[in-house]
Structures are given as C-alpha cells and as structure tokens.
Structure 1
Amino acid sequence: MIYVVERRLMSGLPNRSLTAANYIIAHESGNPNNCGPDALEREITNMNRNKAKAFTSHWVGGGGRIVQIAPINKLQYGCGPKGNPLSYAQVELARTNDKDQFKKDYAAYIWLLRKLAKDAGIPTTLDGSGNGIKSHRWITNNLGGTTHVDPYSYLASMGISETQFKQDIQNGLEQSQQIEKDDDKMQFTNEAPKAAVRDHIKQSVDKKLIDKSWLDKFDNGTMTNGDYEGLKLIIAQRSK
C-alpha cells in the first residue's frame, strides 16, 4: 500500500544541519490521556505550541494518516542532544484505544519508517549495531542524553511484541496485507481516458497536492478504482 504524506511544515524551526544522517527514530506519544478520535490533531497542535523544546519530522495516527510537520535531514528535537544530530527523521505514533484503528496506524508507521530509511540509505534494521532505525529506548540505553523508552510498551499493549516489531521493520507488512484484486485495478479501453487520468494525477503532483508515489502507482498499473476515487477527494479538498 502507498500512503499520502500530508505536508504541514511548522514555521519558526531552527533549520540546523545534522552531524550525520545515521538513524530514523521510532517514537510514540507516551500520552495515555490522548487516545480519542482527534488524538493525532491534538498531538500536532501541542507539538507546534512547544516546538522550541521538542519536535519531530512526522506524526502517524488517525487511522493510518501520515503528517510531516518538519523537514527531514535537518536537526529535530525528539531524542535528546546526542541522538538528535544523527537522526535523518523522527516519527511519532499517536495513541488510540481502538484496536482496529491501531492496525491502520501501525501499518502506516511501519511503512513510513521503512520508506524514510530507504530514502536516506539507512538499513531497515531495528535497534541493531551501526546505522539503522532506532527506538527512543535504544538512544537512551546507548547514547544517553534522554530517558524515554518508547515505543515498546505502547506497542505491547496493542499486541505487538518487540520481536514482531523488529520483523515488521525488517520485512514490511506486505505479506500480511490484503492483495488487491486484479479486477479492481483501473482499466482503459483506449488511450485518451488513460492519458486524461494520468494528466490529472501529474498536475496534482506538480502542484504538490499529493505525493509523487501516486503517479508511480498509476504508471506501474497497481492503482485501483477505489484508490483513484479516494485520491480525487483528497485533491479536491487540497485545491480549495
């Protein structure tokens, strides 16, 4: 599955360069009092309010939504003074009490962590030696400068063990996700409608309304009719 990354970059960030881009950091909010349907937006609002003290590049939640609020490959304030200068991106997971929503959030979380690692040329290994995807707990135990140990306890409370989390980071969730049916994939009887749909998607990419991954999905023939119907709604909303 390909996700749309909503770009809502905060203003007034420090825009400082990293010492090295060695890690992608996996966080969770650590906020048991914010688990409702609007938890993601509340967390983003709170982080924007307190960005002088703490902020990360991405949030995941709300049923599989991904929101980027700060630039990647720039200093973020998420895992302490020793880990921050080495972290290409840092990803927070908003909490929920809804197990069905958690499954969607977790799938997006895994996808994003792996994508960011691949974009940065970082191994998709979790809490191993050398460069890779690191939990906040790994930073605490190995680099110091912070005391947080997320995200393992929250993941465990939702049925995801440390072993499972590491396997999912390493391999992705593609094998466990529902495979799209061939008869639902977009089909065209001639080239004119196909060209019109592609042009619509490309124009939206050029306008930065959607991520280029949607155009890639159309070009490689894996976009379904449902994908495009949902994409049209997103484009329409962001064009207002």
Structure 2
Amino acid sequence: MKRYRIGQIVPSSNTTMETEIPGMLRAREMVRPERFTFHSSRMRMKHVNKEELAAMDAESDRCARELGDARVDVIGYACLVAIMSMGHGYHRASQERLTSVVKAEGAETHVVNSAGALVDGVKVMGAKRIAVLTPYMKPLTDMVVSYLENEGLQVVDRVSLEISNNLDVGAHDPKRLPGIVAGMNFSDCDAIVLSACVQMPSLPVISQVEALTRKPVITAAVATTYAMLERLGLERIVPGAGALLSGAY
C-alpha cells in the first residue's frame, strides 16, 4: 500500500476543493490500494473579481514553496478563474513557474492547475462542443468562455449564476444544478461542464446530470483529480465522479 501526499493551493475563502478532491480520492481508496493525505496552502481572496484574482495569483509562488517543504507528491492550483483571468494560455506559464519554484526548494513535485486540467480533461474525452455552467458574474464567464475557445473548444451554451462573494459560491446548493442544466441548450454538445469553478459544489449530482442529459459531465474538480492521478502515474478511476474518472480514459 503506497501513500501519496496531495497538495492544494487554495483561495482563502474556498471551502469546496478540500472536500471534493479528498471525497473523490477517498472513494477511490474503496476500489484501489493507494492511500492519500491532504495538505493545503492558502492565498487571500474573498470576492471573485479581476483585481482580487490577480493579487491572489501573486501569492501562488509562496504557497508552492510551503507545499514543497512538506514534500507533497503533487500540487493542484485550485482556482480556475484566477488562472484564466491572467490571459490566454496562462495555465502553462503558471504550471511551469510553480514547478520551477518547488524544484528550487529541492522538491520533486508535480504541479497541475484546475484551468489546464479542465481544458485537457475535455479534450481527453474527445469533446469539442461544450455547455458551461459557472457561478461567476457575466464578464468573468465571458472571459472563461474566451479562454476555452482559444484552446480550441466551442461553447454552445453558458449560464452565469452571478455570485460574486466566494463564500456564497461555496454555499450554493448542488441540488439546484440539475434543474439549471435542464434549461440549457445541451442537445448539440459533446459534454457538459457542470461547474467551471472549483468552489461551486457539484460532485453529489454529477451522476444525476449525466443520467438526465445522456451527456458526459465534467467539472473543474473532477478534471483536477484526473490530472493529479495522471501525474502520479495512477489509474484514473473514481466511482461516482462522472465519465472522465470512469476508467474509460
């Protein structure tokens, strides 16, 4: 039985990534032998706006160093919109920089981020046309859509819940999501991004939305978990976490 240390760089007001990612990996422990521990470092952010996101991202190097000190096996930068707000393709620059930061501290630690993980996860499933649900204000959702389309994806429909306070995003009831998705134009899409935000809870209803829509469902948290397992060289399978973690990919 091998144990892996999972590190997360988390916005200070995020209350979801430290429940959903451990929840998925604990579920995996029921069907696979590997075991996981969880370790976080936080960046200050309360409101989801461009100014606070930029200030928060500037703290990510410090967080990477702290997690490197713990010699975690993989680090997940858990804020999709912070990465995407920094400009097209920034997930690659951020990942490269933070990898260099931890290596400079003597740690051989893999680094992923939720923005790049979502882009890659959608492509792993072979999806090109997607419907996207976000908690963001419309200008931030437009920015996310622009980022995804710059990566070669086509967003056929989007919904913005327009929640600016990050604690309120984390308090959004996931049971509302199936009804919201039911009102979206998803018939002509290849996959549904149920939550393009690692703070908006969605894990409990992924299977329900897949059954409702008959479409594969992915979330930022699911994609981040997939990316972490991939970097660790582990089988990408988690019961109840949707198509990407079904073992088919």
TM-score, structure 1 as length reference: 0.28
- The structure whose Rg is larger is 1
- Larger strand fraction of residues: 2
